[in-house]
Structure 1
Amino acid sequence: MVKEILFGAVPAVIVFLLFLKVNIGPFLLFAAVLGGIYVLLSRQAGTGFAGKATRSRHIVPKTNIQFSDIGGQERAKRELKEALDFLIKKDKIRHYGIRPIKGVLLTGPPGTGKTLMAKAAANYTNSAFVAASGSQFVEMYVGVGAQRIRELFREVKQLAEKNGQDSGIIFIDEIEVIGGKRDGQQQREYDQTLNQLLTEMDGIGSTDNPRILLIAATNRKDMLDPALLRPGRFDRHIVVDLPDRKAREQILRIHAAGKPLADDVDLEKIAQETFGFSGAQLESVVNEAAIYAMREQSETISPRHFALAVDKVMMGEQTDREATVEEKRRVAIHELGHAIISEQVRPGSVSQVTLTPRGQALGYVRQNPLEDRYLYTKEALEQQIMVCLGGAVAEEIYYGGRSTGSKNDFEQALAMAHEIVQSGMSRLGIVHLSYIAKSQVHEEVNRILEELLERTRWVLRQFDPVFANSLQILLEKEVLSGDVFRRMLHEQQLVGSLSAQPLAGRG
């Protein structure tokens, strides 16, 4: 009503002043300044033009996500459910005199399902749910972040009361943006925001109705302020980690449900090939496989579509870079060096050798981990270093020198050699790097790499026939499957010829 009156009256006044031949320029300038100030204040206060509350940016539309829809993460889901039970089983809590949990911190790599778990938590407890990211609270205006924190807590209470719910959940993603460690020097704007968050959490009481639970997510727990992590604020720290093989298969089955999969699609095998993938990456694999099938107008999604999808998610989209014939030959020799060493130290580990350029790579070997590994022996690290060195050594044997294509391989090999030293598995024994000279570490790392380079040369020199046959297939088709590659190795009867010299570490 106020807007209609203003929209009708203002033009009439302007026309009247013009009729009286009054200079209205100063009046218009003054009105524009007042209007700008009013709109700015209205936005900061969360009000519209007419002073009514605008639709909140934090209230999330209700979803039907349940914990059963989240693949894997059984331990994390169990811990979170136990924390959520404090919102549901109030009588039991009072009986045991338990102080309700105020905050739950979800930590882990990106794409592991932290946001999904927060949404599932809201459905599990039938709670009002509001969400925000840490960046929404960071503004150049003093006091805005603290004000928005207050609004967030007020909104969840109002939403719970409106819906007749007796609990509310606030989810803050990227909490390290506002909850980072304070340096104790000049007061900064986001320090005030953090202080307000701490104040609001301290104000959450056991008798509040609705009862509030704060769930936050971060990839960088080490950056958070200790005041935020102490008991009484974030009482539970739950790690939402990368899924293991069983969890990866479960995630793939969830996302593949309802899609036209070919009969020969083996999701268990795909789960085995995707070690280190997050839940988001696995969802992308299924989606990209469906896109490849649609692009080819195929009735079903085949294993080949999944293989292309895994490559795309892992390495990036195919590029249009056209290498010369000699460059392709060199890349093929390099990748075959990796593949042959990989098959010798871990039989059955090569899934595919390809010359198709993806991302920054002109070619690559896709490994097929036989099992998820989290602990590595000296022997396992040395074998992996040999796989990394295989490409450069193959170039040395057939071209007499190395190329820039080995740069990343050497970085990985150096990192693993350093790991051997730091883990007390080298000739230096158990050491702390700050207590010994850098030259000693450098000499030991150099010795490890030189020894493994020599072993790698010895292995690859036995495989001239395999290099020749595999090279021809790669140059013609640009792809060599792991099964075909292994069959060629067996046909040459060279796999068992290495028993004379073990590949494991010497002493």
Structure 2
Amino acid sequence: MGKEILCGVVPAIFIFLLFLGVNITPFVVFAAVLTAIYFLVVRQGQGNQLALGGKKKNSKHAVPKSTIQFADIGGQERAKKELKEALDFLVYKDKIEQYGIRPIKGVLLTGPPGTGKTLMAKAAANYTNSAFVAASGSQFVEMYVGVGAQRIRDLFKEVKTLAEKNGQDSGIIFIDEIEVIGGKRDGQQQREYDQTLNQLLTEMDGITTSDKPRILVMAATNRKDMLDSALLRPGRFDRHITVDLPDKSAREQILTIHTANKPLADDVSLEKVAQETFGFSGAQLESVANEAAIYAMRENSEKIEARHFAFAVDKVMLGEKVDREASFEEKKRVALHELGHAIMSEIARPGSVSQVTLSPRGKALGYVRQNPLEDRYLYTKEALEKQIMVCLAGAVAEEIYYGGRSTGSKNDFEQALDMAQEIVQSGMSRLGIVHLQYADKTQIHEEVNRLLEDLLEETRVLLRQYDVVFQTGVSTLLEAEVLQGDEFRELMARVKQAEELVG
């Protein structure tokens, strides 16, 4: 009604002034500017309301109740124990008041992608019977000033409203990819996501221990180093829990969970699959189980067999097979290259070669699937040198039989260089303990180069003793495209027996 009256009165005033002979141009311009500002403000307010889900609409951030429990998450026993301890502050309120403990306000989950950070947040909501709302950091970044801060305010209101509606006395807010809004502030300019971060800090400071519902903020990131120090201090994110890549026993546990509803053949050993998947995240292991089932379905096999898991591991690690058809000479070069890796790997770590394959996958024309005998997190100089020799062996094999190298060794050399630099940086080279910032770059380069040249020569001497393995292995690979680990080890054993007889 007010708009209609305004639209009628303003033109009447302008006509009256015009009749009196007053110059109304300044008034018209001023009115136009005010009208434009009014419409911009209204439009932005509507945009904010739509972005926030609107007060009359259902919550944008509320997550349907999940049935995920901590028992459904394989491995991560230390992380789960630490998180449960933090959540107990929401469960056992009377007990913590008895000891005068201040409930924590925030839990930060850090770790590589796919390790189960989001799953742990959902399990936390069930563990505490809390209202649960979730958002991603990217949802708070907008071109309009103040929108992100308003969304933060709305998020805290939502979880309180949801908890009251469901009769719950606690709520959990989960923010994924928090590094998007929680990045370090440079202090040079007031950016939109600086305002968003400031609002998050304000809201977390406003969380009190006596309020009902009690709110806990959980966040996940794989770039903790990017976060602002104000966000990480005690009183905000009090607990920092690392959700790391699973070890062998944890991988087996994860595979057991993801294969519980799948028909496995008798020849499937989840322990062996876990051993072959060193460095895999929980998400990758779930994909391995799923891809193995897909391979079995393609073949109309009643059960998922060990070979299906072998195919699945290769696919997750390297990608699907490709249709590239190489020439005979190129195949032979690739076969020699991969056999060089396999022979050196077997010398360095007996029993480590699981399979040598000539079929292209992803960008690789061939590959050696290695079977790590144990998970390793610390490496001696000797262990690193052996691994460097495994990387260099492909190029050395090409040199021995073709007199030169190919572009197929590029990735091998990158890995070898990284490990040689690791030896220098760890104080295990002739340079002793060095600091890269102050050390002479030329000296470091020369030391890395010396290490690689010495190991190249040692690799040449060793590989020249295995001509029989190269010749027989190449024939098998060109014919069948696959050389199994046991068959390969039989070839290696023959060479050793021949050496012993000659000796």
Q: Flag whether TM exceeds 0.5 (same fold).
A: yes
1:272 corresponds to: 275
Residue 260 (1) aligns with residue 267 (2): no
1:124 corresponds to: 127
Which of 332, 354, 358 aligns to 1:355? It is 358
Give the partner amino acid of 1:265: V
1:453 corresponds to: 456
1:104 corresponds to: 107
Residue 469 (1) aligns with residue 472 (2): yes
Pick which of 351-360 and 388-397 moved more.
351-360
Asked if structure 2 preserves the Cα contact closer than 8 Å seen for 1:465 and 1:492, the reply is: yes
Asked if structure 2 preserves the Cα contact closer than 8 Å seen for 1:46 and 1:53, the reply is: no
Asked if structure 2 preserves the Cα contact closer than 8 Å seen for 1:47 and 1:54, the reply is: no
2:333 corresponds to: 330
Cα distance change of structure 1 residues 478 and 37 upon mapping to structure 2, 3 Å threshold: farther
* Distance (Å, rounded) in 2 between the aligned partners of 1:101 and 1:48: 27
2:23 corresponds to: none
2:226 corresponds to: 223
1:485 corresponds to: 488
Q: Residues 394-436 of structure 1: CA distance to partner in whole angstroms, max 9, x if unpaired?
A: 0000000000000010111111111111111111111212222
1:391 corresponds to: 394
Which of 387, 409, 412 aligns to 1:409? It is 412
1:18 corresponds to: none
Give the partner amino acid of 2:212: N
* Distance (Å, rounded) in 1 between the aligned partners of 2:136 and 2:340: 46
* Distance (Å, rounded) in 1 between the aligned partners of 2:381 and 2:112: 27
* Distance (Å, rounded) in 2 between the aligned partners of 1:274 and 1:45: 47
Q: Residues 42-81 of structure 1: CA distance to partner in whole angstroms, max 9, x if unpaired?
A: 34124899x7522222100001000000000000000000
* Distance (Å, rounded) in 1 between the aligned partners of 2:82 and 2:500: 52
Which runs of structure 2 are paired with 1:239-388 in the superposition (5 Å)? 239-388=242-391
2:45 corresponds to: 41
Cα distance change of structure 1 residues 494 and 442 upon mapping to structure 2, 3 Å threshold: farther
Q: Which secondary structure does the structure 2 equivalent of 1:463 belong to?
A: helix
Question: Per-residue deviation at 1:104?
Answer: 0.1
Cα distance change of structure 1 residues 225 and 216 upon mapping to structure 2, 3 Å threshold: same
1:59 corresponds to: 62
Q: Residues 96-132 of structure 1: CA distance to partner in whole angstroms, max 9, x if unpaired?
A: 1111100000000000000000000000000000000
Which runs of structure 2 are paired with 1:15-94 in the superposition (5 Å)? 41-46=45-50, 53-94=56-97
Question: Per-residue deviation at 1:38?
Answer: 6.1
Asked if structure 2 preserves the Cα contact closer than 8 Å seen for 1:137 and 1:144, the reply is: yes
* Distance (Å, rounded) in 2 between the aligned partners of 1:226 and 1:37: 35
Question: Per-residue deviation at 1:359?
Answer: 1.1
Structure 1: where are the runs of 5+ without partners?
1-32, 501-507
Which of 438, 442, 454 aligns to 1:439? It is 442
Cα distance change of structure 1 residues 410 and 495 upon mapping to structure 2, 3 Å threshold: farther
Q: Residues 121-176 of structure 1: CA distance to partner in whole angstroms, max 9, x if unpaired?
A: 00000000000000000000110000000010000000000000000000000000
Q: Which secondary structure does the structure 2 equivalent of 1:293 belong to?
A: helix
Q: Which secondary structure does the structure 2 equivalent of 1:434 belong to?
A: coil
Q: Which secondary structure does the structure 1 equivalent of 2:181 belong to?
A: helix
Asked if structure 2 preserves the Cα contact closer than 8 Å seen for 1:48 and 1:54, the reply is: no
Residue 173 (1) aligns with residue 176 (2): yes
Asked if structure 1 preserves the Cα contact closer than 8 Å seen for 2:321 and 2:362, the reply is: yes
Asked if structure 2 preserves the Cα contact closer than 8 Å seen for 1:284 and 1:313, the reply is: yes
* Distance (Å, rounded) in 1 between the aligned partners of 2:125 and 2:466: 60
Cα distance change of structure 1 residues 113 and 439 upon mapping to structure 2, 3 Å threshold: same
Question: Per-residue deviation at 1:493?
Answer: 2.8
* Distance (Å, rounded) in 2 between the aligned partners of 1:495 and 1:469: 15
Q: Residues 13-60 of structure 1: CA distance to partner in whole angstroms, max 9, x if unpaired?
A: xxxxxxxxxxxxxxxxxxxx99998676334124899x7522222100
Asked if structure 1 preserves the Cα contact closer than 8 Å seen for 2:52 and 2:154, the reply is: no
Asked if structure 2 preserves the Cα contact closer than 8 Å seen for 1:46 and 1:54, the reply is: no
Question: Per-residue deviation at 1:319?
Answer: 1.2
Cα distance change of structure 1 residues 468 and 416 upon mapping to structure 2, 3 Å threshold: same
Asked if structure 2 preserves the Cα contact closer than 8 Å seen for 1:146 and 1:193, the reply is: yes
Q: Residues 239-288 of structure 1: CA distance to partner in whole angstroms, max 9, x if unpaired?
A: 00000000000000000001011111000000000000000000000000
Give the partner amino acid of 2:49: A
Cα distance change of structure 1 residues 306 and 34 upon mapping to structure 2, 3 Å threshold: farther
Structure 2: where are the runs of 5+ without partners?
1-36
Q: Which secondary structure does the structure 1 equivalent of 2:478 belong to?
A: helix
Give the partner amino acid of 2:317: M
Cα distance change of structure 1 residues 281 and 495 upon mapping to structure 2, 3 Å threshold: farther
* Distance (Å, rounded) in 1 between the aligned partners of 2:412 and 2:63: 45
Which runs of structure 2 are paired with 1:136-155 in the superposition (5 Å)? 136-155=139-158
Asked if structure 1 preserves the Cα contact closer than 8 Å seen for 2:388 and 2:416, the reply is: yes
1:12 corresponds to: none
Residue 430 (1) aligns with residue 441 (2): no
Cα distance change of structure 1 residues 40 and 188 upon mapping to structure 2, 3 Å threshold: closer
Which of 204, 209, 215 aligns to 2:212? It is 209
Q: Which secondary structure does the structure 2 equivalent of 1:187 belong to?
A: coil
2:187 corresponds to: 184
Pick which of 386-395 and 353-362 moved more.
353-362
Asked if structure 1 preserves the Cα contact closer than 8 Å seen for 2:334 and 2:358, the reply is: yes
Give the partner amino acid of 2:448: V
Q: Which secondary structure does the structure 2 equivalent of 1:213 belong to?
A: strand
* Distance (Å, rounded) in 2 between the aligned partners of 1:53 and 1:39: 18
Asked if structure 1 preserves the Cα contact closer than 8 Å seen for 2:52 and 2:151, the reply is: no
* Distance (Å, rounded) in 1 between the aligned partners of 2:187 and 2:162: 37
Asked if structure 1 preserves the Cα contact closer than 8 Å seen for 2:381 and 2:423, the reply is: yes
Q: Residues 351-399 of structure 1: CA distance to partner in whole angstroms, max 9, x if unpaired?
A: 1111111111111111110000000000000000000000000000000
Cα distance change of structure 1 residues 251 and 391 upon mapping to structure 2, 3 Å threshold: same
* Distance (Å, rounded) in 2 between the aligned partners of 1:495 and 1:90: 74
Asked if structure 2 preserves the Cα contact closer than 8 Å seen for 1:181 and 1:226, the reply is: yes
Give the partner amino acid of 1:385: I
* Distance (Å, rounded) in 2 between the aligned partners of 1:64 and 1:44: 33
* Distance (Å, rounded) in 1 between the aligned partners of 2:454 and 2:208: 64
Question: Per-residue deviation at 1:226?
Answer: 0.2
- Kindly report the root-mean-square deviation, in angstroms, between the aligned alpha carbons of the 2 structures: 1.9
Question: Per-residue deviation at 1:496?
Answer: 7.2
Give the partner amino acid of 2:46: S
Q: Which secondary structure does the structure 1 equivalent of 2:320 belong to?
A: coil
Q: Which secondary structure does the structure 1 equivalent of 2:496 belong to?
A: coil
Report the number of matched residues: 466
